[in-house]
Chains A and B, each alone.
Chain A
């Protein structure tokens, strides 16, 4: 059975949207199904997605009701197939962390949090990764200016941090 058949047999109408663009299979799911779908992808012996290729945050300000988005790319080394799963998030909605399924999602989640403000519950330490600790705002959001910062100059208080 192909990936599409297995996923549709298991989840049916809970897969909100199915798209295939340039042979990339994509499923959109609801935030509440997030954990269950990804656990199934990892555990199911017919899917066997043993590697999380990447977890990406995204911001779509024109989509008013759910401006944030998390995109996950999965790879299976057993079968060599790939899958993309998208979840649209309203502002303030949290997702369960995937660090216990794929530890590599740790830094991806930290990046998604600092860049977009997408909060992951049960993450071991959701701190800023690429920017300084006293950076304000989420710089990859579309409303963040390309030049300059919104919270004043960064690296204001280095005392006690070194």
Chain B
């Protein structure tokens, strides 16, 4: 076991890929061929699996020899349902994918549907979307932190994180009327304009949260127990990440500057000034650091959105694809006919297929839509990050200790609604 001083010397320079691979080999323990393994089923009811993920572990003592994940306990056939619903009806179903960051999921689907239909989103809607997306990132990362630390044995910190997440959920309640499943995005914009008093409240929260992050770091970052549990555990290099399609914070913790908000900008991210959080050691500890930086950057983005919020409509007026505003439906015959048409037939989407990937809090989420014309898609596929992260647990955990598997699983942030769809 190296002393802390040596580790900090090693950290001073970002490690190269070869160094990381050597470190990965050093931290993982090999077991012989003819060993008698003990098979343990962790989950689907285990609290550290964050849902109903099952990992059947073959153990030699405390070392994980093999891991066989089992998913599907939360499979609801969302994609089959999508083929039988209009595009507008799919938006509430996307809430149920990743229920910790529902808005990001709504947003991903709407981006794909807008790409298919060629709908222009007005700038004010883009800004509101960007803001809501970052709020969902805050909610997700704060919840992740609490649960991750609780998995490592600290109960109190979970309550601290839940208290702070509550401020973000209050903002969502004010903005959308719901705390968890918002269904706030619409094809062509968002459902509502910002309510009165939202701006002041939101500013208070984004000024307050970075102070909280500093407090989290004071508690966690320099905590010897956390450091020993997380440092050099579950090393997953950038090559491994590409091979297993691990994206988002675990990829950025491996030293890859890859963020679809920068690389393929959508919504109003092209106007925003923020930096991509990158760390280099590719372990559980660095994934924690990446997420903490992301919370700070998200607060910055929300502040910029509020500063530069343009005036104008919050939803497009493209009547072929966009639901009319409810206020008009009650007063205007044309809007009423349009509303009936949209509710019964759905928007008249062109024939074709599109794929749109966006950066949701957990990684890259892509939506594939194949349309044969008409109001219902012929095939929808949600390429969700948790599906691939759950699959990457065996290569991450092999050779590690059983207790580390819990830390590793939490660090890749799997939500089973997202995974099983």
Contact = CB atoms under 8 A, between A and B. Distances in A.
Given A22-B354, A73-B355, A130-B72, A53 B245 contact: yes
B221 interface: no
A130 B243 contact: no
A123 to B, nearest CB: 14
A104 B353 contact: no
Interface string B96-130: 00000000000000000001101000000000000
Interface string A41-58: 000000000111110101
A58 B379 contact: yes
B315 interface: no
B75 interface: yes
Given A142-B83, A146-B81, 6 more contacts: A53-B355, A77-B256, A103-B244, A104-B391, A130-B421, A144-B80
Nearest to A54: B383
Q: Which of A21, A51, A131, A144 has the most CB of B within 10 A?
A: A51
B260 to A, nearest CB: 10
B72 A146 contact: no
Contacts of A128: 72
Given A58-B379, A103-B244, A140-B79, A22 B370 contact: no
Contacts of B317: none
A129 interface: yes
B388 interface: yes
Interface of A: 21-22, 24, 26, 50-54, 56, 58-60, 71, 73, 77, 80, 82, 84, 102-104, 106-107, 128-132, 139-140, 142, 144, 146
Contacts of B244: 103-104
Interface string B23-43: 000000000000000000000
Interface residues of B, number: 40
A102 B354 contact: no
Contacts of B357: 53
B258 interface: yes
Contact of B243 (A71, A104, A132, A144): A104
Contacts of A59: 379
B366 interface: yes
A58 B370 contact: yes
Contact of B245 (A51, A82, A132, A142): A51
Interface string B234-255: 0000000011110000000000
Contacts of A139: 77, 80
Contact of A22 (B118, B245, B256): B118
B184 interface: no
Contacts of A146: 80-81, 84
A21 B354 contact: yes
A71 B391 CA distance: 20
A130 B70 CA distance: 8
Interface in B141-185: none
Nearest to B392: A104
Nearest to A51: B242
12 contacts: A24-B354, A26-B353, A52-B245, A53-B355, A77-B256, A82-B355, A102-B243, A103-B244, A107-B388, A130-B72, A139-B77, A142-B83
A105 B99 CA distance: 25
A128 B73 CA distance: 12
B286 interface: no
A96 to B, nearest CB: 18
B47 interface: no
B53 to A, nearest CB: 13
Contacts of A51: 242, 245
